[in-house]
Amino acid sequence: MSFLKLTVAYDGTGYAGWQIQPASPTIQGALAQAWLRITGEEPNFSASGRTDAGVHAEAQIVGVETQSTLSPWRLRKGLNAVLPEDIVVRLVEPAPTGFHATYDALRKTYRYQLHDGPAPPLFDRRYVWWWRAGRLDDLQMGQGGERFVGRHDFVSLQSLGSDRSTTVRTISNLSVTRTGDRLDITVTGDGFLYNMVRTIAGTLVEVGRGSKPPEWIAEVLAARDRSAAGPTAPAEGLVLASVEYQTA
């Protein structure tokens, strides 16, 4: 037996999220079918994050234990030959014995993508939230985002439906950058609650449109109440960008 680490990218538009669900197409389900076709094995995958319906990934990390003797290069080639065109295995590499993509992750980076131009986006329309109500103030959003950095109880940013032993997380970096009509909110942390990044995005939009000042973010965190934060931003703007692991 050997352990492998897969780096997988996908367009989540047509899927009900990562995790297998009955009667719904999922990323895990498509990858499992492809793995069975190439190796003859029914895999038990671990994933760095269970992305929700409509959420995308540039570098979802997947761990798997296998008896296959195919080389990583041949596994990647074979999987990409049978996977749907909106899922790509970017890399297959050996992993340490016992590797678990969920529990061994140190930090994850998500990027939330907005478009605030006067005309709707075209080529990236499935990957951004089009804010139709006028130009957002990215400088104010960046100042608000600085208040999220550090170790906090993020219960105000968690949607209902998740059972976690603690809602305390550490955000090590949050930036808001503009390129033309495109705004990217990039967040790195040691873990994220259910819909946390999408709620951070929706909350910062409240600042960007002038409804709230940057200092309001501190009040949101202190309230420990979901109703104190902004709306949950749409799923299509969210991308799992990268995952960090301990290097040997």
pLDDT-derived band at 233 (thresholds 50, 70, 90) equals: very high
Identify the pLDDT of residue 7. 98
What separation in angstroms does the CA of 128 have from each of 89, 155, 159? 23, 25, 21
Q: What is the CATH number of domain 106-245?
A: 3.30.70.660
> Is-catalytic flag, 104?
no
Identify the pLDDT of residue 161. 63
Q: Is the fold of 2-95 the same as that of 106-245?
A: yes
- 56 membership: H or E segment, kind and range: strand 56-66
CB 120 within 8 A of CB 130: yes
What separation in angstroms does the CA of 181 have from each of 62, 75, 107, 119, 168? 33, 40, 29, 10, 34
pLDDT-derived band at 162 (thresholds 50, 70, 90) equals: low
Does the 2-95 domain belong in CATH 3.40.190.10? no
Tell me how many degrees the CA angle 38-45-241 measures, rounded to the nearest 5.
100
Per-domain residue ranges for the chain?
2-95, 106-245
Ligand-binding site membership of 110 (annotated):
yes
132 pLDDT more than 60: yes
164 pLDDT more than 80: no
What's the one-letter identity of residue 223?
Answer: A
String of DSSP letters for 150-161: EEEE-GGG--SS
Backbone angles phi, psi at 213, to 5 degrees: -85, 160
> pTM surpassing 0.85?
yes
> What's the whole-number average pLDDT of the chain?
96
